[in-house]
Amino acid sequence: MSMDARSISDGAPLDTPQAQDWVETQDWVETQEWVDSLRDVLRSGGPERVTRLLQQLQIEAQKNGVSLPVTSQTPYVNTISVEHQVPFPGDRALERRIKSIIRWNAMAMVVEANYKSEGIGGHISTYASAATLYEVGFNHFFRGPEHPSGGDLVYFQGHSSPGIYARAYLEGRLSPQRLHQFRREFADVGGLPSYPHPWLMPDFWQFPTVSMGLGPMMAIYQARFLRYLEQRELLAPSDRKVWVFLGDGETDEPEALGAISLAAREQLDNLIFVVNCNLQRLDGPVRGNGQIIQELEAVFRGVGWNVLKVLWGSEWDELLAKDTDGLLVRRMGEVVDGEYQKYSVAGGAYVRENFYGVDPRLERMVNHMSDNALWKMRLGGHDVEKVYAAYHEATNHRGSPTVILARTIKGYGLGESGEGRNVTHQQKKLNEDELLHFRDQFDIPLSDEEVTGAPLFRPGAESPENRYLLARRRALGGPVPSRRTAPSPLRAPAEELFGEFFEGSGERKASTTMTFVRMLASLLRHPELGKRIVPIVPDEARTFGMETFFREFGIYSSKGQNYEPVDSGNLLYYKESTDGQILEEGLTEAGSFSSFIAAGTSLTNTGVAAIPFFIFYSMFGLQRVGDLAWAASDARTRGFLIGATAGRTTLNGEGLQHQDGHSHVLASVIPTMLSYDPAYAYEIAVLVREGIRRMHDENEDVTFYLTVTNESYQQPPIPQREGVRQGIVKGMYLFRSADELGAEQGIDTAGLPRAQLLGSGAILNEALAAQELLLRDYGVAPDVWSVTSYSELRREAMDVDRWNWLHPSEAARLPYVTQMLGADPTLVVGATDYLKSLPDSIAKWVDAPLVSLGTDGFGRSATRAELRDFFEVDARHIAFATLSALVRDEALSESVTQQAMEDLKINPERANPATL
Ligand SMILES: Cc1ncc(C[n+]2csc(CCOP(=O)(O)OP(=O)(O)O)c2C)c(N)n1
Ligand SMILES: [Mg+2]
């Protein structure tokens, strides 16, 4: 019985083979009719008409309940068609030779390092896949520092560093001795660090990128910061670019893609991402069962980036031209990455059978080609012409950032054991056969004997290769990467700028946050420094009382303010403008931190010195973006981090996730970060001036982390005593001695048991209250010290210790903390709003029992008084801990603590808050 439309619609079974054939034929005919009509419309009405028509059809389908898949994907072919491809202007043969030599040297330095020292590590396969992507950049695009544009800023994929060193070697910028000492930084000649670290190679690397994901995010904010400087007329507008090279596996990091919508929104056409899509990460395929390139295309296009896919090399152009009915393109789009990876290792016959073999029409397309020719068809990322065309398009594109998704093979050219294999990322050595293969594939002019030692190879000074590559770099403005830093032209302001803060607030109460914000305003109004201050906030300006800044200094917006702000009638309205000074980043601590890095490295990267102040909720600071903070120090960032609403018991109400009692511990692990927990306005004034002095007058690459709180209290004047300013900076100074308090209160302190109370931040006030309690009610005479920084005290003491053991025959030096507490302290009680490990950290240098009171454990929503009681850091607990230690030391009788326990309502059986 023959099938017809009626019998189908009448409900005849659809699962017979005949029925399915019929459906497919009908589908095909119908599809052809639609395609023909579309072509007609294109001919008669042009592309705009086709677009309108398709949009109309989409609306119609939606109206009728057909939900169309949302897709930002285009077919799996190069975005730039052959017809639109600009011709490659370079000398292909010469550039290939240069690139091959760099490939060889990059490989040779890693192989040598691993033969010399088993397990020293290094990466061959990443650069092997990215060599063309870099070389087209070096020969034609990356502008050096002498270029009139100011030079491009290039973020290199961290573990492609061997290739970047190898190029610098060919350019004569790195000696062979240094390449011989890759990953041997302590070598006499100065070895080479594993990855891009400005801290370790300050005249070479600009951006620390090897912690995956951070580079792309930092680069986006760097590109935006260039715009900020330009719009604020601190930097001449230029068409310099920020290039970012990253791996396809790296895009899984939330930071890598987390800020891409900002880049599109800000229309950062000075930003170019190049994703090296070798389809592999460390362990295996990035998306074995999918297509990472299509996925990334959708993500980037979805937010408005210009996406250029560079998938297929020139060898494919001819085949694609023959693919009039789109069979090949369709097949390209359906093969998953795991399978594509297999094609790169399995050989031409496998490709013929598995890729083309699924359809006889496809098979026929490649009948004329040998298996080898099939296998050798290059991918887009290995073809200079395709890569050049994409870079050309990217650098000329206006209105949005560009991402180039370039398909490559991981370990390209590394032979059978490396290329495209899952283990390639870990490959560190090549055997003799593989070295010979490498030499042959890339025509390296070395004999069989020479090859075995994997020597470095540099063509002579007068060789065409050398002349060409140097000429290209000269034409582009000099070497890349290169990091240059001039001394800062900025100077710390005179102390008078902060004069009021040294005098105290009298009866008026103020929080240190308020105080700091007033200081920042003074800095912003300063005639020389004002314009260079970059206040950065992640949607929390009002919390810190900074809304007064909105109108006076403006919020930076590249678009100005194209709306009437809802509070325009208000004196403090939300004012956005193109020359606004505040970077109000919205809710992104990582993004804000990236802005902090851009501003804090501005002197070296743009020549414009800037002083960033990043003010954030202290709990959502270092713990949230710790790795970025580490990278910031590596990048030699200078600036101020202000952890506001800080202190586990000082920030009341907000509870467990908000109350920070450990950021100072986190800050203490970063070598160039100085962290302070100031109690009073004048301490902050001293620290802000000192920070600017060190960063600019002294050109030190340091950051200052200051916590400020929202507890209001009277701000005292600076004590009129020697060494207070120095003590604030070094970490402690005597705030009020027992004798001073005794004199004030008419109590004779002679002969009373002594103690030293250390207080920090808001808890200093509790220590002062405890001092009064102890003197008045218990006949104990403690001194009270303000400890502004345990970590600075500890660092200095460790340094002194080290000197002492290295100089056994010289008189031992005394650490500052030991000097301060005197030769014979009786008892030290340290109270902090942070972990007990802070006071503990100086115990070694204190020759007396040390009791640490702190806020280990989770915070709670409660009042300040309740919190300080719970964590045992209030005046009562400080006093009781002091008495208790004195009783144990037999300086007081036991009856004193029995009485105190009652008076002060101390419950000795209460559970430890650290575990609650
Ligand atoms: C945050 C972080 N996690 C892990 C690593 C270790 N690591 C280095 S490279 C790599 C795989 C990278 O794959 P991909 O981004 O695709 O780069 P490819 O080498 O393939 O170009 C990993 C896991 C790292 N450097 N940073
Ligand atoms: Mg990869």
- Give the pLDDT score at 9: 43
Q: Which of 161, 214, 250, 255 to mutate to test the pocket of ligand 1 (most atoms within 8 A of CB)?
A: 250
Q: Which atom of ligand 1 is nearest to the CA of 247?
A: 15
Q: Is 758 helix (H, G, I), strand (E, B) or coil?
A: strand
Q: Is 241 in the pocket of ligand 1 (CB under 6 A)?
A: no
Closest residue by CA, ligand 1 atom 19: 126
Give the ligand whose atoms come closest to the C-alpha of residue 249: 1
Block residue for tokens 């994703």: 275
- Give the pLDDT score at 552: 94
Give tens-digit pLDDT for 419-434: 888 888 888 888 888 8
Nearest to 788 by CA among 674, 671, 623: 674
Nearest to 525 by CA among 499, 490, 493: 493
**Residue 763 tokens, joined:** 């808890």
Block residue for tokens 């034609």: 140
Centre of ligand 2 to C-alpha 156, Å, is 14
- Give the pLDDT score at 58: 82
Q: Which of 134, 212, 634 to mutate to test the pocket of ligand 1 (most atoms within 8 A of CB)?
A: 212
- Give the pLDDT score at 510: 96
Q: CA 702 to CA 699: how far, in whole Å?
A: 9
The pTM (predicted TM-score) of the whole model is 0.93
Give the ligand whose atoms come closest to the C-alpha of residue 216: 1
Q: Which of 123, 194, 278, 282 to mutate to test the pocket of ligand 1 (most atoms within 8 A of CB)?
A: 282
Region at 532 (left for phi over 0; alpha for psi -120 to 50; beta for the rest) = alpha
Beta bridge partners of 402: 272, 306
Give the ligand whose atoms come closest to the C-alpha of residue 130: 1
> Angle formed by the axes of helices 125-136 and 92-116, to 10°?
150
Strand (E) or helix (H) holding 675: strand 673-676
**Residue 807 tokens, joined:** 């100089």
Centre of ligand 1 to C-alpha 169, Å, is 25
Beta bridge partners of 245: 274
Write a three-state SS string for 822-837. Answer: CCCCCCEEEECCCCCH
Q: Which atom of ligand 1 is nearest to the CA of 246?
A: 15
CA 738-743-744 angle, to 5 degrees, is: 95
Contact 718, 724 (CB under 8 A): yes
**Intervals of the chain under pLDDT 70:** 1-15, 17
Q: CA 557 to CA 584: how far, in whole Å?
A: 9
- Give the pLDDT score at 825: 82
Beta bridge partners of 403: 273, 307
Q: CA 391 to CA 402: how far, in whole Å?
A: 9
Q: CA 874 to CA 896: how far, in whole Å?
A: 19
C-beta atoms surrounding 902 within 10 Å = 9
Beta bridge partners of 582: 555
**Residue 254 tokens, joined:** 């939330």
Nearest to 686 by CA among 731, 729, 733: 729
Give the ligand whose atoms come closest to the C-alpha of residue 246: 1
- Longest Cα–Cα distance in the chain: 120
- Give the pLDDT score at 751: 95
How are beta strands 703-707 and 673-676 bridged, if at all? parallel
Q: CA 334 to CA 310: how far, in whole Å?
A: 17
Q: Which of 155, 257, 276, 281 to mutate to test the pocket of ligand 1 (most atoms within 8 A of CB)?
A: 281
Nearest to 514 by CA among 337, 348, 714: 714
The phi, psi pair for 574, rounded to 5°, reads -80, 95
Closest residue by CA, ligand 1 atom 22: 282
Residue-by-residue DSSP string for 185-218:
TTSTT--B-SS--TTT-TTT------STTHHHHH
Centre of ligand 2 to C-alpha 342, Å, is 15
Closest residue by CA, ligand 1 atom 10: 282
Q: Is 337 in the pocket of ligand 1 (CB under 6 A)?
A: no
Centre of ligand 2 to C-alpha 220, Å, is 21
DSSP 755: E
CA 122 to chain CA mean position, Å = 22
Q: Which atom of ligand 1 is nearest to the CA of 278?
A: 20
Query: How long is the chain?
Result: 916
Q: CA 389 to CA 674: how far, in whole Å?
A: 48
Q: Is 248 in the pocket of ligand 1 (CB under 6 A)?
A: yes
Contact 344, 285 (CB under 8 A): no
Centre of ligand 1 to C-alpha 622, Å, is 23
- Give the pLDDT score at 67: 80
Four-CA torsion 88, 89, 93, 97, nearest 10 degrees: -100
- Give the pLDDT score at 749: 96
- Give the pLDDT score at 10: 46
Q: CA 496 to CA 519: how far, in whole Å?
A: 12
**Which amino acid, residue 775?**
L
Q: CA 144 to CA 142: how far, in whole Å?
A: 6
Give the ligand whose atoms come closest to the C-alpha of residue 252: 1
Q: Is 225 exposed, middle or buried (0-12, 13-18, 19+ CB in 10 A)?
A: buried
Centre of ligand 1 to C-alpha 249, Å, is 7
Give, in order, the Cα–Cα distances in Å from 46 to each of 40, 74, 299: 9, 20, 29
**Which amino acid, residue 792?**
E
Nearest to 378 by CA among 315, 420, 436, 327: 315
Half-sphere exposure of 702 (CA within 13 A, CB side): 21
- Give the pLDDT score at 13: 53
Closest residue by CA, ligand 1 atom 17: 247
> Angle formed by the axes of helices 589-600 and 214-231, to 10°?
60
Name every residue whose Cβ is closer than 8 Å to that of residue 5 and which is 6 or more positions away in sequence: 26
Nearest to 487 by CA among 687, 638, 675: 638
Q: Can you point out the beta strands (E) in 55-129?
A: none
- Give the pLDDT score at 602: 98
Nearest to 226 by CA among 489, 558, 528, 484: 558
Nearest to 897 by CA among 742, 753, 746: 753
C-beta atoms surrounding 737 within 10 Å = 19
Q: Is 424 in the pocket of ligand 1 (CB under 6 A)?
A: no
Beta bridge partners of 535: 613
Q: What is the spatial order of strands in the sheet that 850-853 belongs to?
A: 732-736, 781-787, 754-759, 828-831, 850-853
Q: Is 126 in the pocket of ligand 1 (CB under 6 A)?
A: yes
Contact 240, 371 (CB under 8 A): no
Give tens-digit pLDDT for 89-102: 999 999 999 999 99
Q: Is 211 in the pocket of ligand 1 (CB under 6 A)?
A: yes
- Give the pLDDT score at 11: 47
Give tens-digit pLDDT for 452-510: 888 999 999 999 999 999 999 999 999 999 999 999 999 999 999 999 999 999 999 99
Centre of ligand 2 to C-alpha 128, Å, is 11
Block residue for tokens 């500052």: 816
C-beta atoms surrounding 542 within 10 Å = 11
Contact 632, 677 (CB under 8 A): no
Block residue for tokens 């009692």: 661
Q: CA 715 to CA 717: how far, in whole Å?
A: 7
First vs last C-alpha separation in the chain: 80
Q: Which atom of ligand 1 is nearest to the CA of 214?
A: 1
Centre of ligand 2 to C-alpha 163, Å, is 16
Q: Is 381 in the pocket of ligand 1 (CB under 6 A)?
A: no
Q: Is 687 exposed, middle or buried (0-12, 13-18, 19+ CB in 10 A)?
A: buried
**Residue 236 tokens, joined:** 């001449």
Q: CA 665 to CA 649: how far, in whole Å?
A: 16
Give the ligand whose atoms come closest to the C-alpha of residue 411: 1
Q: CA 337 to CA 319: how far, in whole Å?
A: 21
- Give the pLDDT score at 679: 98
Name every residue whose Cβ is closer than 8 Å to that of residue 50 and which is 6 or more positions away in sequence: 38, 41, 42
